[in-house]
Amino acid sequence: MKRWGSFTALLAVTIALLGGAMRLQSEQIFRWRLIPFKFRDTLYLPSSEYVRAVSVGYDVFMSDFLWLRMIQVFAASWTTPDSPETMKHYFDIITDLNPYNTDVYKFAILAVGEEHKRHDMVKEIVNKGIQHNPLDYHIPYEGASYAFMSMEDLDQAKLYVRMAKLDPNYPDFIDRWEGYFDIRQGRYEAAYSKFFREYIEAILADNPQLFDILRTQLNRAMDEWFKSVIREAAVAWHDRTGQWPSVDELNAAGAFQGVRLPDVQFVRGALQTAIEHDQGSGPLPPEQMDALIDRGVKTFDFLPLAPYDFIDPRYQGYVIWPYYYEDNPERFVLAEIKAAQTMGLLASSVESRIQAYRDAHRGQCPPTLEALLGEEAALFTEHRDPFGGQWTWDPATCQLGSTSFPSLIELGQLDVR
Amino acid sequence: MKEITAIALNTFKEAIRNRILYVILIFALLLILFSGVLSQLTISDRLQLIKSLGFAAINLFGVAIAVFVGVSLVYNELEKKTIYTIVSKPIGRWQFLLGKYFGLLLTVWVNVLIMTLFFLISVHYNVGAMQGGGLASTLLASIGRGLLNLVAWNAFEPTQNLMFVIVVTCMELAIVTAFAILFSSFSTPTLSMFFTVLTFVAGRLNEHIIRFADTVLERARDEALAAAAPLTKPFAYWFAIGAAHVVPNLGAFHRSVTQAIYQNEVTLWPGTILYGVLYTAGILCLAILIFSRRNFK
């Protein structure tokens, strides 16, 4: 009985002590919750030499733990770590311990590059990655994306693309980046030659998945080449006369004499021939391929047809739209098809505004475009359309039109011939 | 040979009755299973992390088993005087020691096999779960694949090369076990544990010793150039080079782990395995040498 009594007493004391401790802990929890949490990385990492020594040969294991820590530090501080140096320090140690984890390089590019625009650090990261993983396309590919999108350094991007291509298993699309960068750099002929070659190779290799992609890229290279020549001639004309010319006027004035341009008809013919001889013809000898591509470029005395759509060349010219010149001097020369699409889009947007106006005004049409669009109406009242016609507004029918295409809504069908 | 086998099997039976073995094994298995949970924290290839943790657990706890179980094997026989009953029979001391070594090695390798099975199941389960399989079906399939993997090493893509690396790890553990027996043959368990762990650490850092020697030499060369004097290789250089040759190069075995996880291709210099066999044999000979001259009183 006495034994049970002492046991019960001890149990009661234990419960009282633990209960008191828990009560205090509850109070502490309440107090902690009142303090807003701010993440602060408390892990001190010395240089990788020491971390490596401490890891006692478990380099990969240690590197993976620090990798998790790096992710947490980045995420916990909600994508704004104290400094890019912290992230770079983590990166250095992790990749010194194990330089083969390519995800760390990609993540570090994001952490110090995308978030902090530290181009110098990104270059270091990519170069280290390439040095240790020369046959892995992932790191130079990320580097090329970053160099193109954030650094806007196309030469650097092209260098990384070439390094990515050292990987025997690099994906096809990396091939086309170089050509794309060439277009962006104004190296149209280089891009054109590249895409022309690849397109024919794709046909001969019977790779239909690539046909459309490469045709689009080849079109783009030729299109940009044409537009750059027209832009240059139009700006020179404008500087001389103070007026914007039409493409026909430039042509008639001999602005395109002796200019190297892709021969659209030849390209179409060559591709048609390649398609017809596709079956079992095998790869073309390199010299024949070079000759074919070279013959696709001609010195013209007049502007040849626009390249749109090799099969059905419905839209054959370019227009100069001075309205675009001030906002975007790169875009004021448009292919006819693009100009027509732009007019169609403008008409659609005005149409929806008209509908909203009518809903708000008991079905009445706006009396003027100014009443409908306010200051934006200047586009239609003070400027001509891309084809040189005048914009028109009929309040009786609630219709936006132009003298080039009286019924713009039908432009949705894109029948502008 | 018969005597060695008998002592080895007896040592194995004795070792598996050791509770500490089970504690270590349970920790290892928990870490391996936990790797799947931990891998949720990464933002990329989760399998890499699972493999990394699995290999580390197998290696680390393999070493722990060799050390904790091994260091007291010979000592206990001496302490409890049970060795008298053995050496009074027509059994050589070298046979006794080799029997102890192979018994301990068998214990370590059996444990590695169990951990490997869990590791393979964990990898297969996580692959299955990532592909959206149900819990029960994925678990059953993973157990089946894990068991098959023990026999058909490269039967499945996610576990390619893993078994090869496990075999290389077993070679590394054979060296560590030999050291445990060596130190156990002339020292107390505490000191043996201390010596074995230090040897393991030094062995893992063997590459650093060579780098240190290079740094010392480079500094001496710079000083000689500055003083326009002939180069004299300092004592520290010779000491470090000597140490790098004497200390076991355990890092050489561990390098294949990085390759298996991150490079999908394991290349191991055949000399590495030969080095492991020769080194282990050498350490065992040294242990026999010491043990044969030991006074049991």
Mean pLDDT of chain A: 83
Q: Tell the burial category of B1 from Cβ atoms under 10 Å away from its Cβ (0-12, 13-18, 19+).
A: exposed
Residues of B (207-246) whose Cβ lies below 8 Å from A: 208
Considering only the beta carbons, identify the residue of A61, A102, A106 that sits closest to B56: A61
Q: Does the pLDDT at position A416 exceed 50? A: no
Question: How much is the pLDDT for B15?
Answer: 82
- 3-state secondary structure at position A170: coil
Q: What is the pLDDT of residue A131?
A: 94
Of all residues in chain A, the one with the smallest CA distance to B204 is A57
Assess whether pLDDT exceeds 90 at residue A122. Answer: yes
* Helix boundaries (H) for B156-250: 162-184, 189-204, 206-227, 235-246
Nearest one of A151, A171, A320 to A231, comparing CA atoms: A320
Q: How far apart are the CA of A100 and the nearest CA of chain B, in angstroms?
A: 6
Sign, Cα dihedral of A30, A35, A38, A44: negative
Instruction: Locate the chain B residue with the closest alpha carbon to A72.
Output: B41
Interval A215-271: pLDDT, tens: 888 888 988 999 999 999 999 999 999 999 988 889 888 888 888 888 887 887 777
| pLDDT tens-digit map of A394-409 | 888 888 888 887 776 5
- Total beta-carbon pairs less than 8 A apart between chain A and chain B: 61
Ordered structural domains, chain A, with CATH: 48-170 (1.25.40), 213-320 (no CATH), 336-413 (no CATH)
User: Which residue would you say has higher pLDDT here, B68 or A204?
Assistant: B68
For residue A411, pLDDT over 60 is answered with: no
Find the CB nearest A67 among B42, B55, B258. B42
Three-state SS at A335: strand
Question: What is the pLDDT at residue B1?
Answer: 77
On whether the CB atoms of residues B133 and B150 are closer than 8 A, the answer is no
Can you read off the two tokens belonging to residue A369? 């475009």
Cβ(B3)–Cβ(B95) below 8 Å: yes
Question: What is the DSSP pairing of strand A259-262 with strand A318-320?
Answer: unpaired
DSSP letters for A95-136: HHH-TT-HHHHHHHIIIIIITT--HHHHHHHHHHHHHH-TT-
Looking from the CA of B67 toward its CB, the CA atoms found within 13 Å total: 19
pTM, two decimals, is 0.71
For chain A, the residue count is 417
Taking residues A306-313, report their average pLDDT: 58
Count of C-beta atoms within a 10 Å radius of residue A34: 6
Q: What is the mean pLDDT of residues A352-366?
A: 87
- Of A78-82, A324-328, A352-356, which has the strongest mean pLDDT? A352-356
Which of B41, B42, B52 should we substitute to test contact with A (largest number of A Cβ atoms within 10 Å)? B52
**If 0-12 CB within 10 Å is exposed, 13-18 middle and 19+ buried, where does residue A154 land?**
buried
> Distance between CA atoms of A262 and B163, rounded to whole angstroms?
59
Give ∠ CA A197-A202-A203 in degrees, rounded to 5: 100
Nearest residue, CB atoms, B52 vs list A64, A103, A107: A64
Output the pLDDT for position A37.
66
Task: Sort A4 into a burial class: Cβ within 10 Å, 0-12 / 13-18 / 19+.
Answer: exposed
| Separation of alpha carbons B235 and B239, rounded Å | 6
Does A135 score more than 80 pLDDT?
yes
If you ran DSSP here, which 8-state letter would residue A334 be given? E
pLDDT tens string A11-63: 898 898 888 888 887 887 778 777 776 666 667 788 888 888 888 888 888 99
Q: Do A61 and B208 touch (CB under 8 A)?
A: no
> What is the percentage of chain A residues whose pLDDT exceeds 70?
89
- Angstroms from A181 CA to nearest CA on chain B: 29
A388: left (phi over 0), alpha (psi -120 to 50) or beta: left
For tokens 């390649």, name the residue. Answer: A274
pLDDT, greater one: B238 or A288: B238
Which pLDDT value is given to residue A312?
A: 46
Strands, E assignment, A259-332: 259-262, 297-300, 318-320
Q: What is the pLDDT of residue B102?
A: 92
Nearest Cα residue in chain B from A133: B263
pLDDT the model gives residue B249: 86
pLDDT of residue A1: 62
A145 or A342, higher pLDDT:
A145
Q: Does B266 touch chain A (CB under 8 A)?
A: no
Residue A414's pLDDT is: 44
Q: What is the pLDDT of residue A41?
A: 67
Q: Is B48 close to A72, i.e. CB distance below 8 A?
A: no
C-alpha to C-alpha distance for A217 and B283, rounded to whole angstroms: 68
Whether the per-residue pLDDT at A308 is higher than 80: the answer is no
Q: Which residue has the tokens 């300092």?
A: B234
Q: Which of B74, B103, B78, B140 is nearest to B4 (CA)?
A: B103
> Are A60 and B52 inside 8 Å of each other by CB?
yes
Any B CB within 8 A of A98 CB: yes
Radius of gyration in angstroms for the set of CA atoms belonging to chain A, rounded to a whole number: 33
Among A350, A352, A343, CA closest to A387 = A343
Q: How confident is the model at residue A281 (pLDDT cuts 50, 70, 90)?
A: low
For residue A91, pLDDT beyond 90: yes
Which residues does chain B have with pLDDT short of 70?
A: 296-297
Q: Among A215, A164, A169, A165, which residue's Cα sits nearest to residue A192? A: A215
* ipTM field: 0.71
Confidence of residue A276 (pLDDT cuts 50, 70, 90): low
CA gyration radius, chain B = 22
Helices (H) and strands (E) in chain A, counts: 18, 6
At B16, the amino acid letter reads: I
Nearest to A53 among B59, B208, B250 (CB): B208
